[in-house]
Amino acid sequence: MLRHESDTVTVMEHRYLGNSGLKVSAITYGNWLTHGSQVENDVARACVRAALDAGITSFDTADVYANTVAESVLGEALAGERRESVEIFTKVYWVTGPGGPNDSGLSRKHIMESINGSLRRLGTDYVDLYQAHRYDVETPLEETMQAFADIVRAGKALYIGVSEWTAEQLRAGHALARELGFPFVSNQPQYSMLYRVIEPEVVPASEELGISQIVWSPMAQGVLSGKYLPGQAPAADTRAGHDDLSGSMRAFMKDETLAAVQHLRPIADDAGLSMAQLAIAWVLQNPNVASALVGASRPEQVAHNVADASVVLAPEILTRIDDALAGVYTRDPSLTERRAPKQRPS
């Protein structure tokens, strides 16, 4: 039903990021919702250590996570590692600091100030990938892309990426990047068995432009792990048990969806995988996906999720997954634009 690239030892796969020479690990360790907020710093450092031990070399954060604290925690956790042996990603767009009129967005002012703050907190002279965390409808795209070009030329970032941009926005940004002469190589969208909205438009445009996906929430914020059951309230210590449940996760918590997810359990069993591993393996089957973002609140979760990053799912497994989730997953490409900010956050 499946095969491993190695019959004995699972070696972390590395994939090229877009049409570039940069390789990233197929699993990227991300510290959204954990470092600096949900877990203690010593546990966060242990999670990063576990990621390194598992062969992960790519680490993703953002200045907005825990209002800049997550970057500091990641920087401390990576201190002492050979800088050339890891790829560090961060992002700019959302509100940081006290939320002044220029504390968000993709203006030249905010980008230039943000990259300097991120580098200081991360304890590095450069990031491998600097990403626009969303599209800024209030700043001319030319201004944003010129600022990115200047950051690359200054050596503060090696590559530029974005997050949750539409196919049209990707094409416009890529055209300016080519004109300005800097590498625009990635997009970071939500993507999972349940949320496939990038497939109709974003992925074809990205393949055309030489852009890869670094996908977030490959387990649909934990729903695809199978731990949430229809008709049962989520445990208080789970993400779904929090009062501040996100809108995207709330959509996954419908009983119809949770019941369908339980039909994945025998499929995972037949494949010799946990349900979480099946979910991660599924997104990595898409050739336009360079890496899947995985977080952790305990070190053992890292090893569990990474264990089968090199799995190739057989066609019959993919068909069974589609059949199990028929009617509960979405491929509506309009959701990327509909869920995007309509004005700069404040």
Burial class (CB in 10 A: 0-12, 13-18, 19+), 192: buried
What is the band of 4 on the pLDDT scale with cuts at 50, 70, 90? very low
Integer angstrom CA distances of residue 101 from 98, 147, 234, 269, 308:
10, 19, 39, 52, 45
Q: Is-contact 129 157, C-beta < 8 A?
A: yes
Angle between helices 69-78 and 108-122 (to 10 degrees): 40
Query: Where do we find the tokens 């929090």?
Result: 242
Instruction: Tell me how far apart the alpha carbons of residues 184 and 181 are, in angstroms, rounded to a whole number.
Output: 9
The answer to whether 163 and 91 have CB atoms below 8 angstroms apart is yes
What is the 3-state composition of the chain as percent helix, strand, coil, each rounded to the nearest 5?
A: 40, 15, 45
- Give the confidence band of 134 by pLDDT, cuts at 50, 70, 90: very high
DSSP 37-79: TTB-HHHHHHHHHHHHHTT--EEE--TTGGGGHHHHHHHHHHT
Reply yes or no on whether the pLDDT at 289 is more than 70.
yes
Look at 237 and 49; give whichever has higher pLDDT.
49
Residue with tokens 């349900």: 275
Catalytic residues: 65
* Confidence category of residue 6, pLDDT binned at 50, 70, 90: very low
Residue 72 amino acid letter: S
DSSP code per residue over 270-283: HHT--HHHHHHHHH
pLDDT in the model for residue 1: 40
Arithmetic mean of pLDDT over the chain = 91
Which value, to the nearest 10 degrees, does the dihedral of the CA atoms of residues 126, 136, 242, 28 take? Answer: -30
Residue 284 has pLDDT above 90, yes or no: yes
Give percent above pLDDT 70 in the chain. 90
Mean pLDDT to the nearest integer, 25-43: 77
Q: Which residue type, as a one-letter code, is found at position 270?
A: D
Q: Which domains does the chain have, with CATH numbers?
A: 14-222+286-311+330-338 (3.20.20.100)
Regarding predicted confidence, which is higher, 162 or 238?
A: 162
Structure tokens belonging to residue 94: 């959302």
Looking at residue 217, its pLDDT comes to 96
Query: Which pTM value belongs to this model?
Result: 0.93
Q: Which of 5, 4, 8, 54 is nearest to 28 (CA)?
A: 54
Q: Which amino acid is at 29?
A: Y
